[in-house]
Amino acid sequence: MNYEQFPKSKTLRQGTVLASIVHAVMAPRYFELFHEYSWDGTNHGVQNSMGGYGTIAFLGSLKGDLVAVFFDAHSSRNPFPLNVHYEVGPFFTNMPPHLFSLAYEQALQYRLEEYNGKIQPVITSAFWCVEERLAAAEPWSEVFENGAHLLEDYFMPAESALAEYREGYEMTKDEFKLSQSLFARKIANPSKIITITPSEKAILLEQAEPGGIENSRIAFKPMGIFLP
């Protein structure tokens, strides 16, 4: 991955779909990781259980413009240990005006914290989509280091990301193939509702923890995938 050059928005969009599908496939047997990926309407949340939080707010749909914000507790920009004056405005310098409502009314609402006696959004990096390219108020290396690294797998080519997920999740052959198949079908026809077949559901149930299949059903729904 090139840490100096901003990725294309298409890569991020497809990476978001892939990550969401893989998470849904693995949700039945990784109950404790279910909270790490989430959807609230067209707002996608990700966290790493180590002080890293991110939200991608899409304008209308995955095809629309977007704003992404991040908070990394380990970033040198984290204001809490320093107790310094803080504001989010500089993170959005040169952002197109039509994206401000998406940033302040959507993305930043998931990063509200109490700081210096008042509730306000606190982030350590941000980026947005301009046409087919991502952009920010600073170089991509700074954005990535201070929070966007949470999405590192999202910026990989699909095959590379799948290989990472396969190893990280210790996916079975069937889970891997199901993830590949669902991703290919969704990318080929994004608006089509996909229904999980009985044989595909059997794969999800094979190693499912109690209640895990419901997590999978919840995780699939925002992707337009129906699990009977």
pLDDT per residue as tens digits for the range 55-101: 999 998 888 899 999 999 999 999 999 888 899 999 999 999 999 99
Name the amino acid, one letter, at 90.
Answer: P
What's the mean pLDDT in 37-47?
A: 94
Name the amino acid, one letter, at 108.
Answer: L
pTM exceeding the 0.85 threshold for the entire prediction = yes
Residue 1's pLDDT band, with cuts at 50, 70 and 90, is low
Name the amino acid, one letter, at 24.
Answer: A
List CB contacts of 220: < 8 A, sequence separation 6 or more.
21, 24, 196, 226, 227
Q: Where are the alpha helices (DSSP H) in 6-157?
A: 9-26, 100-105, 140-145
Q: 94 is written with which tokens?
A: 């040169």
Among 82, 54, 78, 81, smallest CA distance to 68 is for 54
SS3 (DSSP) at 208: coil
pLDDT per residue as tens digits for the range 172-213: 999 999 999 999 999 999 999 999 999 999 999 998 998 889
Among 103, 114, 98, smallest CA distance to 55 is for 103
Q: How far apart are CA 11 and CA 156, in angstroms?
A: 7
